[in-house]
Amino acid sequence: MPGTAELIAAECFAHDHTDPGKPGIAWDDVQAKQQLDSGLVNDALTVVAAFE
Protein backbone atom coordinates (compact mmCIF):
# COMPACT_ATOMS: atom_id res chain seq x y z
CA MET A 1 0.00 0.00 0.00
CA PRO A 2 1.43 3.40 -0.89
CA GLY A 3 2.21 5.86 1.88
CA THR A 4 0.12 8.91 2.64
CA ALA A 5 2.34 11.28 0.66
CA GLU A 6 2.14 9.04 -2.41
CA LEU A 7 -1.64 8.74 -2.05
CA ILE A 8 -2.04 12.50 -1.84
CA ALA A 9 0.20 13.03 -4.86
CA ALA A 10 -1.62 10.40 -6.92
CA GLU A 11 -5.24 10.95 -5.92
CA CYS A 12 -5.74 14.45 -4.49
CA PHE A 13 -6.02 17.24 -7.01
CA ALA A 14 -7.88 20.16 -5.39
CA HIS A 15 -4.69 21.90 -4.29
CA ASP A 16 -0.95 21.36 -4.57
CA HIS A 17 -0.54 19.96 -1.07
CA THR A 18 3.24 20.39 -1.25
CA ASP A 19 2.82 24.18 -1.62
CA PRO A 20 2.38 25.81 1.78
CA GLY A 21 -0.10 28.60 2.26
CA LYS A 22 -3.39 29.44 0.66
CA PRO A 23 -4.30 28.02 -2.75
CA GLY A 24 -3.89 30.49 -5.61
CA ILE A 25 -7.51 31.17 -6.49
CA ALA A 26 -9.53 34.34 -6.96
CA TRP A 27 -10.71 34.69 -3.36
CA ASP A 28 -13.42 37.15 -4.33
CA ASP A 29 -14.92 34.62 -6.78
CA VAL A 30 -17.65 32.63 -5.03
CA GLN A 31 -17.62 29.87 -7.64
CA ALA A 32 -13.83 29.44 -7.34
CA LYS A 33 -14.12 29.14 -3.55
CA GLN A 34 -16.96 26.61 -3.83
CA GLN A 35 -14.96 24.56 -6.33
CA LEU A 36 -11.94 24.58 -4.01
CA ASP A 37 -14.07 23.61 -1.00
CA SER A 38 -15.65 20.75 -2.90
CA GLY A 39 -12.29 19.54 -4.15
CA LEU A 40 -10.72 19.66 -0.69
CA VAL A 41 -13.63 17.65 0.75
CA ASN A 42 -13.21 15.07 -2.01
CA ASP A 43 -9.47 14.92 -1.31
CA ALA A 44 -10.16 14.39 2.41
CA LEU A 45 -12.64 11.61 1.66
CA THR A 46 -10.06 9.94 -0.57
CA VAL A 47 -7.49 9.95 2.23
CA VAL A 48 -10.03 8.68 4.79
CA ALA A 49 -11.10 5.87 2.46
CA ALA A 50 -7.48 4.80 2.05
CA PHE A 51 -7.27 4.16 5.80
CA GLU A 52 -10.52 2.19 6.06
Express each pLDDT in 23-44 by its tens digit: 889 999 999 999 999 999 998 8
For residues 25 and 34, give the distance between their C-alpha atoms in angstroms, rounded to a whole number.
11
pLDDT at 20 over 70: yes
The HSE-up count of residue 17 (CA atoms within 13 Å, CB side) is 16
List the chain domain ranges. Answer: 4-51
Looking at the chain, the whole-number percentage of residues with pLDDT higher than 70 is 90
